[in-house]
Amino acid sequence: MVVYIARRLVQAVLILLGVSVITFALLYMLPADPVRQIAGRSATAQTVENIRRELGLDQPFLVQYGRYLLGILHGDLGRSYLQRTEVSSLIAARLPASLLLMAGAIVCELILGLTMGLFAALKRGTATDQALMVGSFIGVSAPQFVVGLLLLYLFAVRLGWFPIGGYGTFAHLVLPSITLGILGAGWYSRMMRSSMVDVMRQDFIRTARAKGLARSTILFRHALPNAILPVIAMIGIDIGLFMSGIVVVESVFGWPGIGQLAWQAIQRVDIPIIMGVTLVSACAIVLGNLLADLVSPLIDPRIKLQ
Amino acid sequence: MSEVKDGEPALANGPRASANGQRHGQDPVLVVSGLTVLVRGEDGPRAVVEDLSFSLSRGETLAIAGESGSGKSMTSLAIMGLLPKPGARIGGGSIRLGDRDIAGLSEGRMKAVRGRRIAMIFQEPMTSLNPVLSIGRQLTEAILAHEAIGRSEARRRAIAALRAVRIPDAEGRLKQYPHELSGGMRQRVMIAMAIALKPDVLIADEPTTALDVTVQGEVLELLRDLQRDLGTAVILITHDMGVVAEMADRVVVMKEGRAVETGEVGQLFDAPQADYTRDLLAAVPRIGEGRGRMETRALESRAAPPLVQINDLCVRFPIRSGFLSRVRANVHAVEGVSFEIAAGETLSLVGESGCGKSTTAKALAGLVDYSGDIILEGTNMAGRTSEERKAQRRKVQMIFQDPFASLDPRMTVGDLVAEPMVIHGTARREERWARVAGLFDRVGLSADQMARYPHEFSGGQRQRICIARALALRPRLIIADESVSALDVSVQARVLGLLRELQAEFGIAYLFISHDMAVVENVSDRIAVMYLGQIVEMGTRDQIFGDPQHPYTKRLIAAVPRPDPHARRRAFERAASEIPSPVRMIGDPPNRLELHDLGDGHLVASRA
């Protein structure tokens, strides 16, 4: 177990290294010039050159990347070009809000997705099944900003049940969580449905019925733990989907998380922040997957971590 | 009527004999009359069981025998109220358990009957237990579902049930999960679960079909002992007439949903009334009966170089663990196997699951990495370029066990048979089609079926297609890996006949892999018995079956149920332990067995 986690963490470092190289290279090749953004339109060529030299952006790619990497190894993610603050403290200030939003979204995904999938599987071939699957299809395909705006209009503007935006109370959390979670809920319900349909056909379910067990026991004790396994693996991957989702959702709801930070940074070509947010997201994805892999053997005794 | 058991002392079989005596007593436990099961089809409901009637008394074993599609499993599911929904339903008739008709019972009422009054064990022990729940949990929940007792009492009963099915260390097993047990152990757990509540009726649907033959013997004996002790009435559903002869008091023979014959087991085997029963019994392969048996060919060509020579073949699968995934242990699947196959000869590899017989075949076909020498017509496959190996391998073709899974469902059967010729570039297009047509004709299919898809054919026809595909490259050796095991006996007999004809016609050699000793006895020239990756005995068919020397060979032969109710075995010799694991740590290789020649090429491993 310890060996397994250690090996996965070593892999994680390699993955992060790869992510940093690729992101850094992409940002380097970007046609937009960050120095122009910092200096403003009216700056002289001399000022621009000075800033460029000051930030080390006149150096060749490998030198730039080497410096950045050295910084990371010392726990230094650099400073924002525009705000002149430490990227690490910027991210640290906004990370809790994003994590809260993600947690809310996961809860919403699981509750919505699993129940929808379960019901659809049990009512397979009926109108209920069809309706649920059409619903999940809409969930999967609707753009998040549309869903967000619709929810805002309906529940915040028209009905006034929830605040229009912002951060602070539980009521603030509800609409953004649903918006972010609805995509995953769509996927999960489809997965859960097919997984459940498959499990219900298994021989051991027939055995359970032959034992004279109650239907609820068969469903929740025999079928569900088997059906949920592929979904758990999916949650790990999902955290990656969230990262793109929160950029949109946080902007729509004015949620002060790293998604908004990233959005602003992208607009202003603030490279250190973009790099920082990317690395933090990569970390989250890697850890999410690790966590999913650690949970699976608790449910399925056949899975051994090696 | 008790002639059934002549040859067995009446005393030893006391309780059972008396149960048989009251067979037609006043109160049968289960009476099925006029049962009809309908399945929704494309053009309306179709009867898969039609007007079936039988009764079952306490302590009696009734076998329902038949080939696939005979409706025997549907009958058992109908009794349990477990017919697949939607689609199948009881269309008529009654199933009386005691004085209650359970045919139309609601799911809620049926729940109390299942497990408590009628229990069932299934064919597939590997998939019939829930993989994520412990054995203890699955056992106790079955007990708790029907009895108002506490957890500790249920646990005590679960342990008692496991002891009753002779599982060693019953208490320790409760914590284990199904994947930690062998197939035979899992089937015992299933039986323990079924008998824990002492049901009136136990339905065993092909309970030993998926098990190795020695394990089958033990499980059958266990069922018989339990029935004697508990007085349970058993419905045994099986396709295996050997098992019927071994176990049943009475037999219902089913065909296409109807009972074609019902009778005492002795009468049925001695003087079958229906034509179908006669055909069925005739198709059953028997050891040593000479029916359908080939003459062992004198291997006059011994002097000539063998077609295939295998020397010291080893196949190992590494097991990696630790931080750097170093190889810590090896699965020694095949360990130092040597044999030869002469042109036109049939060599059978027999042994139980995990003994390495299929891996040996895969090595020969070039499907796994190996060490040692495989010499095909004088060419050692080791040290050749892949092009040369490919050219050589054309001479070796395989036919697999599952004719449903080994044909690509998206290709026409004509394309499937032509494919080897395309891969090896051995024939031009026009020539190819002519050859495929010829092959179809040769294996007993018509050439105008070439444009159809695999799902339009029956199991036996598909196996013929697989044979045609194997023949397409005019091979010198065909490896038949359990190629007839999935087929019904009547179909099996015809496919074996075809293989024989092809051998006579083209002089093909077969490496025949099977767990079925009766089939092996009927087709082989020579036999090699494998155990734990090594050959323990090898010789001609007559040497192995007439004069088996190694204890394992003797066990294998003794374990085969004989399709003769007058020759029931009294008790089957139980294995001292399960077959040990072939997994060995690095630096701890298994003992190599040495084979000694007893004369005339009869090789036997000396006892270690």
Contact status of B82 with chain A (Cβ, < 8 Å): yes
Q: How many domains does chain B have?
A: 2
Establish if B495 belongs to a structural domain.
yes
Tell me the per-residue pLDDT of B417-456, one tens digit each, with 9 for 90 and over: 999 999 888 888 888 889 999 999 988 888 888 899 998 8
Beta-bridge partner residues of B259: B254
* Same domain flag for B326 and B252: no
- Best probe of the B interface among A204, A296, A302, A303, by most B CBs < 10 A, is A204
Q: Testing the interface with A: which of B118, B128, B176 to mutate, by most A Cβ within 10 A?
A: B128
Query: What pLDDT is recorded for position B10?
Result: 36
User: At B251, is the pLDDT very low, low, confident or very high (cuts 50, 70, 90)?
Assistant: very high
- The H-or-E segment that residue B48 falls in is strand B44-56
State which residues of chain A have pLDDT below 70.
306
- The CA distance from A303 to the nearest CA of chain B, in Å, is 10
Q: What gap in Å lies between CA B432 and CA B439, rounded to an integer?
A: 10
C-alpha B140/C-alpha B135 separation (Å) is 9
Which among B196, B200, B190, B204 is positioned nearest to B235, based on CA atoms? Answer: B204
Q: Estimate the crossing angle of helix B213-230 against helix B14-21, to 10 degrees.
A: 70
The Cα–Cα gap between B39 and B537 comes to 50
Residue with tokens 């360990």: B335
Asked if the Cβ–Cβ distance from A203 to B127 is below 8 Å, we say yes
Determine, yes or no, domain membership for B97: yes
Residue B7: pLDDT over 60? no
- To the nearest whole Å, the CA of B162 is away from the closest chain A CA by 16
Q: Is the peptide bond before B86 cis (omega within 30 degrees of 0)?
A: yes
* pLDDT over threshold 60, residue B23: no
Whole-angstrom distance, CA of residue B443 vs CA of residue B458: 14
Chain B residues with beta carbon closer than 8 angstroms to that of A6:
323
Q: Which residue of A has its CA nearest to B110?
A: A212
| ipTM for the predicted complex | 0.78
pLDDT score at A93: 86
pLDDT for residue B303: 58
For A33, residues 6+ apart whose C-beta sits below 8 A from its C-beta are A269
The closest of A151, A142, A140 to A177, measured between CA atoms, is A151
Percent of chain B topping pLDDT 70: 91
Residue entry with tokens 């029935």: B227
pLDDT band with cut points at 50, 70 and 90 for residue B478: very high
Beta-carbon separation of A212 and B133 below 8 A: no
Find which of A270-274, B127-131, B384-388, B589-593 is predicted with most confidence, using mean pLDDT: B127-131
Token pair for B275: 């034509």
Q: B88 by DSSP, 3-state: which?
A: strand
Using an 8 Å Cβ cutoff, are B239 and B209 in contact?
yes
Same domain, B521 and B568: yes
Fold topology of A95-299: MetI-like fold (1.10.3720)
Burial grade of B38 (CB within 10 A; 0-12, 13-18, 19 or more): buried
Q: What's the confidence (pLDDT) of residue A3?
A: 82
The answer on B564 and B488 residing in a single domain is yes
Look at residue B524 and tell me whether its pLDDT is greater than 70: yes
In a domain, B460, yes or no: no
Mean pLDDT in residue range B206-223: 84
The reply to whether B375 and B329 lie within a common domain is: yes
Q: Please check whether residues B361 and B239 belong to one and the same domain.
A: no
| Dihedral (Cα; B175, B177, B178, B184), 10-degree rounding | -40
**How does pLDDT run across B229-244, given as a tens digit for each residue?**
888 999 999 988 888 9
For residue range B160-171, what is the model confidence (pLDDT) as tens digits?
999 888 888 888
B485 part of a folded domain: yes
Cβ of B127 within 8 Å of Cβ of A202? The answer is: yes
**Is residue B96 predicted with pLDDT exceeding 50?**
yes
Res B509 pLDDT > 60: yes
> Is B127 in the A-facing interface, judged by CB distances under 8 Å?
yes
Residue B451 forms part of a structural domain: no
Domain co-membership, B245 together with B327: no
- Is residue B208, in this structure, part of any structural domain at all? yes
Q: Kindly state the percentage of chain B with pLDDT values over 90.
A: 33
- Predicted local distance difference test score (pLDDT) of residue B229: 87
Q: Is B323 on the interface with A (CB under 8 A)?
A: yes
Q: Does B572 lie in the same domain as B492?
A: yes
Do strands B509-514 and B346-350 pair parallel, antiparallel, or not at all (unpaired)?
parallel
Lateral strand order in the sheet of B61-65: B118-121, B201-205, B233-238, B61-65, B250-255, B258-264
Question: In the prediction, which pLDDT does B292 show?
Answer: 46
Is B115 at the interface with chain A, CB within 8 A? Answer: yes
Please return the burial class of A295, using the count of CB atoms within 10 Å of its CB with bins 0-12, 13-18 and 19+: middle
Cβ of B495 under 8 Å from any chain A Cβ? Answer: no
Query: Looking at chain A, which residues constitute the CATH 1.10.3720.10 domain(s)?
Result: 95-299
- Length of chain B, in residues: 608
Mean pLDDT of chain B: 84
| Tokens (6 digits) for B283 | 């198709």
Query: Which stretches of B70-212 are DSSP H helices?
Result: 72-80, 107-113, 135-144, 151-164, 170-173, 183-195
Find the CB nearest B145 among A211, A301, A306.
A211
Q: Are residues B104 and B221 in the same domain?
A: yes
| Binding-face residues of B in 171-200 toward A, CB within 8 A | 177, 179, 190, 193
Judgement on whether residues B217 and B109 belong to the same structural domain of the protein: yes
B205 belongs to a structural domain: yes
CB pairs under 8 A between A and B: 82
Same-domain check for residues B268 and B228? yes
Task: Specify whether B497 is located in the same domain as B572.
Answer: yes
Q: Domain holding B239: CATH number?
A: 3.40.50.300
A170-A172-A177 Cα angle (round to 5)? 90
User: What are B510's strand-pairing partners?
Assistant: B346, B478
Q: Containing domain of residue B70, as a range?
A: 29-129+199-283
In single-letter form, the type of residue at position B137 comes to R
User: At a CB cut-off of 8 Å and minimum separation 6, what does B116 contact?
Assistant: A212, B146, B197, B199
User: If you measure CA to CA, which chain A residue comes closest to B189?
Assistant: A207
